[in-house]
Amino acid sequence: MDRYDLQDKLGEGGMGAVYRAVDKELGRVVAIKVISLAMDSESIRRFQREMKLLSKLSHPNIIRVYDSGVTSDNRSYFAMELVEGVDLDRMRKTDGALSFELASSLLAQAADALATVHEQELLHRDVKPANLMVEKGVRLVVMDFGLVKDPNATMLT
C-alpha cells in the first residue's frame, strides 16, 4: 500500500480494521478497510465480494470505493470515501431523540440509497443504526455491505 499513508485506526470489526489514510497520489483523505490476517479463504472471498459490489454502486448516500489491492503481507484492502461523522446508533445515544425534520430527512436518504441497491438486485441485509453514518448532521451514508445478498451468487450469511 505504498500509495497510502496510514494515520490512525478508526474502527475494527469481525473481518478487519478501518484506518484513516492519505492517498499520496491524489492528496485526499480516505478510509482504508484491511482484512484481518486471521481470515480464512471464505472470509477473504466475502471481503473481496463486498469491495466489488460496492464499486458498482453510485449514489450520494452510499459509501464510495476508490481503489483496492493487496498489502505486502498478502491482505486484501480497499480505499473508500472517508465519512467524517457519527453513526446513528452513537448519535441517538449521545443526542437522544432526533427532531422530526432531521429523522425524516435521514430516513428519506437511507430509503433512496437502499432503492438504488435494490435496483441493482442486491439486498444490504445489515441495515442498522451503526451502519448509517451521518456527516455534518445532514448527509446520511449507508455503510458496511459485508452481508449484501447478490441473487446471482450463492447465499452467504
**What is the set of active-site residues?**
135
Helix (H) or strand (E) holding 24: none
- Cell 465480494 belongs to which residue? 49
C-alpha cell at 63: 459509501
- What is the DSSP annotation of 103-129? HHHHHHHHHHHHHHHHHTT-B-----G
For the chain, how big is the Rg over CA atoms in Å? Answer: 16
Rounded to whole angstroms, the Cα distance separating 44 from 148 reads 15
